[in-house]
Amino acid sequence: MAEETRERIAPIPRHVAIIMDGNGRWAKQHGLPRLGGHRVGTENLRRVIETMAEYGVEYLTLYAFSTENWNRPVSEVRGLFRILGQVIDRESRALHEKGARICHLGTMEGLDPKLQNKVRQALELTRNNRRITVCIAFNYGGRAEILEAVRRIVREGVPAGTINEEEFRRYLYSSEMPDPDLIIRTGGEMRISNFLLWQSAYSEYYSVPTYWPDFGKDDVEKALIAYSQRQRRFGGLGPGEKRGKAGGGAPPGKAAGS
Ligand code: FPP
């Protein structure tokens, strides 16, 4: 990688999440059926994962199938499941050899038992790897994740007074990961699409018009450079600006952040 690009990228986000959008439009542009777009949308995975790992990103989450995607035609849903199975078959060993740990975010409910098995085997094969964690959000919905956390808390009889943000996050699918620092959306839309709703409270958003199958190493670098130029304040003030005394602030429920 070019030295001047590397120098422009600091700090490195610990966790990057990607909404891989635009496969359908890419397919249309190329005169292919939608599934052709999804299939080609798997060919850049290695490149994107490797670039993130080279820059030192520790966690990469890829939004591959949302709970709402079940509303697509049955043939597309089946095709997406088939493609996921093929990606696991094709990429697990290569990712393992590159030191990547694979994880799954979402529910296995409703998935074909054979696919569930493949996912479990990939998790098992790579569980001790530490170079980068690649999390596939598959059969994932942010609201479903929060509801599931609430159900578990109620089922376990956890006393209401002991629930705070730290405690609550332990019940999310993503409990072992830091919140995403940067969320990239390809395909140009400006929507959250039910992705990491709790975890993205202070994430930086970056939307690019590039369709996912065309998103490559240069695009990853541009996104990381854009992140480097953001000033994160987590609801506080920027460096050098006057701060109030700790302990003051907005009343509960009125807190404002930026
Ligand atoms: C959105 O494009 C993309 C998806 C619903 C699927 C993303 C899946 C892949 C890239 C393949 C599998 C990847 C992994 C990591 C297993 P869209 O169909 O909404 O595109 P459109 O907005 O142009 O119609």
Per residue in 234-251, pLDDT (tens digit) is 888 877 776 665 544 444
Domain encompassing residue 30:
12-228
Asked, for residue 28, whether it belongs to a domain, the answer is: yes
Number of H helices, E strands in the chain: 9, 6
What is the pLDDT of the chain when averaged over all its residues?
Answer: 92
Asked, for residue 163, whether it belongs to a domain, the answer is: yes
What is the pTM assigned to this prediction? Answer: 0.92
CA of residue 211 to ligand 1 center, whole Å:
10
Number of domains comprising the chain: 1
Asked, for residue 2, whether it belongs to a domain, the answer is: no
How far is residue 96's CA from residue 89's CA, in Å, rounded to a whole number?
12
Asked, for residue 5, whether it belongs to a domain, the answer is: no
For residues 39-45, average pLDDT: 97
How far is residue 129's CA from residue 127's CA, in Å, rounded to a whole number?
6
Q: Name every protein residue with a CB atom under 6 angstroms from any ligand 1 atom.
A: 20-25, 38, 41-42, 45, 62, 64, 69, 83-84, 87, 136, 187, 212
Asked, for residue 240, whether it belongs to a domain, the answer is: no
Note the pLDDT tens digit of each residue in 126-184: 999 999 999 999 999 999 999 999 999 999 999 999 999 999 999 999 999 999 999 99
Name the residue at shortest CA distance from atom 15 of ligand 1.
64
**Percent of all residues in the chain with a pLDDT value above 90, rounded to a whole number:** 86
Name the residue at shortest CA distance from atom 10 of ligand 1.
41
Helix boundaries (H) for the chain: 3-8, 23-29, 34-40, 45-55, 74-97, 113-126, 142-155, 165-169, 217-228
Asked, for residue 25, whether it belongs to a domain, the answer is: yes
Asked, for residue 252, whether it belongs to a domain, the answer is: no
Query: Which of the two residues, 243 and 94, has the higher pLDDT score?
Result: 94
In the residue annotation, 69 being an active-site residue is answered as: yes
Which H/E stretch holds residue 104?
Answer: strand 100-105
Name the residue at shortest CA distance from atom 13 of ligand 1.
64
What CATH number is given to the structural domain containing 134?
3.40.1180.10
The token pair that represents 81 in the structure block: 């499941």
Do 195 and 142 form a contact (C-beta atoms < 8 A)? yes
pLDDT of residue 241: 72
Asked, for residue 86, whether it belongs to a domain, the answer is: yes
